[in-house]
Amino acid sequence: MTPRAEAPRVRWRLARRAFTWVRDLLLGRWRKVGPERPRVAAPPPGWHCVGACTTPIRSRPELGDENAHRVQNMRLAAAMIHGVRLGPGEILSLSRLIGEPGEARGFRSGPVLFRGALASASGGGLCQIATTVYDAALLADLEILEKHGHSADLWGEQRLAPLGADAVYVHLRKDLAVRNRGPSPVVVHLEVDEGGTAVTCRVWAPAPLPYEVRVTHEVRERIPSRQPAGRPGWLVSTTRSRVTDGRSTVNYRRLDRYAPEGP
């Protein structure tokens, strides 16, 4: 690409970064931990796992080389997040810790969902990282500041997480950001297993949560496709509650819409 052709892309990136910086400042989201933060390789003695999620990495031979590329991308991203410590009020943001998943940084072309269809882009596979961190953060009762779902339910019954439990990461467009709103620090561990068959995220804290956390994903509406035998869409609600002495208090809600196949 020539310098003249690249110029609009550079201007757009700078404008997007400036917008994000101003937005975070106005919303009080400026306390995002950076990649330079020292890591905690193992949970300190006596700490408790307050939220955990494992998502399967399904083999998809139809993707060819990209089947392996997406696993490599997940390993790179997991290493950038693994062991990060969040003090009270601090924020874990994939855009801050992972940044742009370009080839110069070791990321490869992998499958991504683009406008409701499967496409290919550098860093494909990172949505599984976002999904696994999001679901562990929900159970750990971390504050969800920013989360985006997929635009369509492409995989159907072969999806890696329930409808509403998936999260998306697109550099400078769609971030996953969670804040530690508790009085004590937490440590986030994120790993891809040796065989490349699963991603696991665990959130560790000095003490167990003094209440039960319940997360539900409920299909509110099935949206039929206008195409014969086309993929349906869905409207899904996610609710998180704290349960203490049998009393439930909702502290997080969101709606995700998955578009049906076709116009």
Other C-beta atoms lying within 10 Å of the C-beta of residue 154: 16
pLDDT at 118: 67
Extract the tokens encoding 21: 């910086």
Q: Which residues of the chain have pLDDT under 50?
A: none
Q: What are the counts of helices (DSSP H) followed by strands (DSSP E) for the chain?
A: 4, 12
Distance CA 103, CA 111 (A): 15
Which whole-number Å values give the CA distances from 251 to 31, 194, 235, in the listed order?
22, 36, 20
Q: pLDDT value at position 58?
A: 85
What's the rounded Cα separation, in Å, for the pair 1 and 54?
Answer: 40
pLDDT of residue 89: 97
Predicted confidence (pLDDT) per residue in 175-212, tens digit: 999 999 999 999 999 999 999 999 999 999 999 999 99
- pTM given for the model: 0.91
Question: Domain locations in the chain?
Answer: 27-209
What is the strand order of the sheet 177-179 is part of? 91-93, 177-179, 143-146
pLDDT value of position 120: 67
The pLDDT, as a whole number, for residue 203 is: 98
Q: What is the pLDDT of residue 115?
A: 60
Tokens of 167: 């999260």
Say how far apart CA 91 and CA 50 lie, in whole Å: 17
